[in-house]
């Protein structure tokens, strides 16, 4: 049997989780990684680890050639936006991650909205795209109090401003639009949905989709969903692969939107989307709505779902490459998970950097995922973004939360985490919010 030589692009906790899922496979394999920081968790699993600009397709191509990689999994969105999947595909490498034109589903907000509109896929808001102030005021008038303004490109989650939260008046909205016009940017204004958010990710081989358990992320930095937006402070999933505030029909609607979107991409480009299609949804009183698409695994969502994955990850990747996902049964354990991130003091606006942390007291090293860390003189140091994550796994969300909370509290250093993620109190608030809306 040939050894599968697998390249992982990216060096955060999501990629650490991907590496672990690959290592669990009993197939002969070797792992290689290109990353931006010395992630000791990934390094310990790889034959070769290169620090380089992960957004430069040429650098990645050279490394993949040199290491004779046969398969690649692209973690973050920026390399996808730069066409890394295209260039690796041209080398004959099987790639889990869509080509640049298909990754527009994430890299361009207007592309995603226009696609859903063109193919009459349910879940779309009223929206319009702009590149000047012409028509902005009129459209804001039409939407009334509930609107969202989105910069039309990758902005690490910082380009989206929501009425009532970041934009407290029409004047605030006009000023933000003006700022985007001034910066030469296109933007989308859309209707604001009210409800509860959840992520539903699907493996996709261009034709067939295999869905993962639904997950809820917590984007705000501080407890009680206050403070600035972040990449995600923590996540939970439930043993039945749904979420306590969702019903079976909500999950079916989200799966249907993902399926129709994959079909639309194939029919638009004649080529299928191969990778992970990640729908960010909102359950509302009026059905499930699409907030955004991502063209990759979520972070932290990857830690929840990959910790439950029972099917061999190499088999999944090979099935995506060969368009045979329909022949593979993709299974996840029926357990609940809670993932919590510890982040540097000051994160996300003014994070400290370079301070030492100590993870030696974490009792189950398999539950610990390294993210934005570096190694300096054999000390583990914070590299400035989300630092380490832990996942608790149990029969119920509340038991998984207790495990995650105990473990993350054992990480020492100038860090903080959200104690409330996955607690019965917070989950009940979500359930009550949803029941009040329905």
Angle, vertex CA 62, rays to CA 60 and CA 63, nearest 5: 65
From the list 218, 246, 268, the residue with the least C-alpha distance to 112 is 268
Q: Which stretch binds ligand GLY (CB under 6 A): 250-258, 291-299, 352-360, 376-384?
A: 291-299
From the list 396, 433, 401, the residue with the least C-alpha distance to 235 is 401
Cis preceding-peptide flag for 348 (omega within 30 of 0): yes
Q: Which of ligand GLY, ligand AMP, none does residue 9 bind (CB under 5 to 8 Å by kind)?
A: none
288 — phi, psi (to 5°)?
A: -85, 130
Write each residue from 178 to 217 as x if it is in contact with ligand GLY (CB under 6 A), else as -, in one continuous string. ---------------------------------------x
CB of 219 to ligand GLY, least distance (A): 7
Q: Which of ligand AMP, ligand GLY, none does residue 298 bind (CB under 5 to 8 Å by kind)?
A: ligand GLY
CB of 304 to ligand GLY, least distance (A): 10
Alpha-carbon radius of gyration of the chain = 21
Q: Which of ligand AMP, ligand GLY, none does residue 232 bind (CB under 5 to 8 Å by kind)?
A: ligand GLY
Alpha helices, DSSP H, located in 270-395? 301-308, 313-322
Please, which of residues 342-381 interact with ligand GLY by CB under 6 A? none
Question: Counting contacts by CB under 6 A, is residue 81 touching ligand GLY?
Answer: no
Q: In this chain, which residue has its C-beta nearest to ligand AMP? A: 292
Strands 209-211 and 287-294 come out as unpaired
Among 99, 229, 253, 294, binds ligand GLY (CB under 6 A): 294
Long-range contacts of 125-130 (CB under 8 A, 24+ apart): 125/190, 125/191, 125/192, 125/193, 125/289, 126/190, 126/191, 127/188, 127/189, 127/190, 127/191, 128/188, 128/189, 128/190, 129/186, 129/187, 129/188, 130/177, 130/181, 130/186, 130/187, 130/188, 130/189
Q: Which of ligand AMP, ligand GLY, none does residue 299 bind (CB under 5 to 8 Å by kind)?
A: ligand GLY
- Tokens 């993949």 belong to residue: 64
Question: Counting contacts by CB under 6 A, is residue 76 touching ligand GLY?
Answer: no
Among 86, 208, 250, 299, binds ligand GLY (CB under 6 A): 299
Question: Counting contacts by CB under 6 A, is residue 298 touching ligand GLY?
Answer: yes
Written as six digits, the tokens of 36 are 């931006």
Write each residue from 216 to 235 as x if it is in contact with ligand GLY (CB under 6 A), else as -, in one continuous string. -x--------------x---
Residues in contact with ligand AMP by CB under 6 A are: 125, 148, 150, 157, 160, 162, 190, 192-193, 197, 219, 280, 291-292
Which residues of this chain interact with ligand GLY, rule CB under 6 A?
217, 232, 294, 298-299, 301
């Amino acid at each position: 049997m040939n050894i599968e030589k697998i390249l992982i692009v990216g060096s955060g906790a999501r990629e650490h989780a991907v590496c672990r899922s690959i290592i669990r496979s009993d197939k002969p394999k070797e792992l290689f990684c290109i990353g931006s920081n010395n992630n000791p968790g990934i390094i310990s699993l790889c034959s070769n680890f290169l620090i380089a600009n992960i957004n430069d397709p040429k650098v990645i191509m050279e490394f993949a050639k040199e290491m004779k990689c046969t398969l690649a999994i692209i973690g973050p969105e920026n390399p996808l936006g730069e066409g890394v999947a295209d260039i690796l595909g041209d080398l004959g490498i099987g790639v889990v991650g869509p080509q640049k034109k298909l990754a527009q589903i994430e890299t361009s907000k207007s592309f995603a909205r226009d696609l859903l509109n063109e193919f009459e896929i349910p879940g779309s808001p009223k929206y319009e795209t702009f590149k000047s102030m012409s028509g902005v005021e009129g459209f804001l008038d039409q939407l009334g109090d509930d609107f969202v303004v989105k910069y039309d490109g990758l902005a690490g989650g910082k380009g989206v401003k929501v009425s009532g939260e970041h934009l407290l008046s029409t004047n605030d909205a006009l000023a933000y639009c003006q700022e985007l016009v001034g910066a030469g940017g296109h933007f989308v204004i859309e209707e604001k949905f009210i409800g509860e958010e959840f992520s539903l990710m699907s493996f996709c081989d261009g034709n067939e989709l295999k869905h993962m358990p639904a997950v809820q992320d917590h984007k705000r930095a501080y407890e009680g969903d206050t403070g600035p937006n972040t990449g995600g402070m923590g996540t939970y999933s439930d043993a039945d692969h749904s979420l306590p505030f969702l019903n079976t029909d909500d999950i079916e609607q989200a799966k249907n939107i993902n399926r129709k979107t994959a079909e639309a991409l194939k029919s638009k480009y004649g080529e299928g989307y191969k990778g992970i299609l990640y729908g960010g949804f909102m359950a509302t009183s009026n059905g499930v709505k699409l907030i955004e698409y991502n063209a990759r695994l979520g972070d932290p969502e990857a830690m929840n779902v990959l910790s439950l994955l029972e099917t061999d990850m190499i088999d999944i990747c090979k099935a995506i490459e060969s368009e045979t996902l329909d022949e593979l049964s993709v299974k996840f354990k029926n357990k609940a998970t809670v993932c919590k991130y510890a982040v540097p003091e000051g994160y996300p606006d003014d994070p400290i950097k370079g301070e030492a942390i100590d993870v030696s007291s974490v009792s189950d090293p398999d539950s610990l995922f390294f993210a934005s860390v570096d190694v300096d003189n054999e000390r583990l140091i914070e590299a400035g973004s989300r630092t380490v994550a832990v996942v608790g796994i149990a029969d119920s969300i509340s038991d998984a939360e207790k495990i995650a909370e105990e473990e993350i509290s054992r990480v020492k250093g100038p860090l903080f985490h959200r104690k409330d993620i996955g607690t019965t109190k917070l989950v009940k608030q979500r359930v009550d919010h949803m029941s009040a809306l329905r």
